[in-house]
Amino acid sequence: MNINLGNKIRELRKQKNISQDVLANYLGVTFQAVSKWENDTTMPDVTLIPAIASFFGVSTDELFDFNLYEIEKKVNFITDEYSKYYDSDRAKSEAILRDGLKKYPGNDTLLNCLIGTIPVPERSGEVIELCKALIESTKSDDVKYDSYRIMEAYKSIGEYTLAKAAIEKIPEIYFTKLQIAALLLDGEDMYEAAVKQKSISLGHLLEMLDRLADYYIKNGDSQKSLIQLQIGKSVIEAFINDFSTKYTKKPFETFKTDLDEFERKIKEQST
């Protein structure tokens, strides 16, 4: 693919009637760096793409003059590939997304997926910077609020107050689009929404049981903690005979690692 990003940046900068210095100061780089971009000597760092698009008031796709329909199809293919390895080989998932970003730099969907593959706390700083860039530039509420959610990475580096402040930006919603679709639609539309929501709800329930178990044990109530862990174990085991669908993996296999963790904690508390 022929990417004329440098020409596009120059064109947008001149339309805005600003110098390379002004753009450089906004992005926190040198004017020489901007000059190299515009001369196609180098490319901006991937984390700067959303900020550049935001500065000029365009989408990242517009910044690269992409055909939006074609890019969406190809991005969906890339995300399908990365998801195959997300649970088993996170590094391979990250590599797939980074290769995709070489073709479609700054794409919101790919960047949002990429954030989820980066280990925390080992690379919390990188996660936080990507989230901040997406929050500033994306036109998608889904991406924006997911980025606020992932800003929990602040907690991993001891910035509890910043993590809490990021969470406050997320609106409280007591239903999901999938849930409403499963209740109001029929046939295949209902089925797809219902099986996806079932898997998501199961994952959320297990997360909350695990968090409550940790809370009770830290507050000296081992019996209540044990009850939460036993519920979690029983919930996963209840899905042992459930099956995969064309939209979701088999629940028991998906959450088997959670079962192992619940069993480990139960054993620890029972000894």
Write the class of the CATH domain 68-168. mainly alpha
Per residue in 247-265, pLDDT tens? Answer: 999 999 999 999 999 999 9
Rounded to the nearest integer, the mean pLDDT of the chain is 91
Per residue in 61-110, pLDDT tens? Answer: 778 766 566 778 889 999 999 999 998 899 999 999 999 998 888 888 99
Q: Where in the chain is the domain with CATH 1.25.40?
A: 68-168
The answer to whether residues 194 and 237 touch, using CB atoms and an 8 Å cutoff, is no
Mean per-residue pLDDT for 165-189?
94
AA identity, residue 190: M
Mean per-residue pLDDT for 193-210?
97
What is the value of pTM for the model shown? 0.65
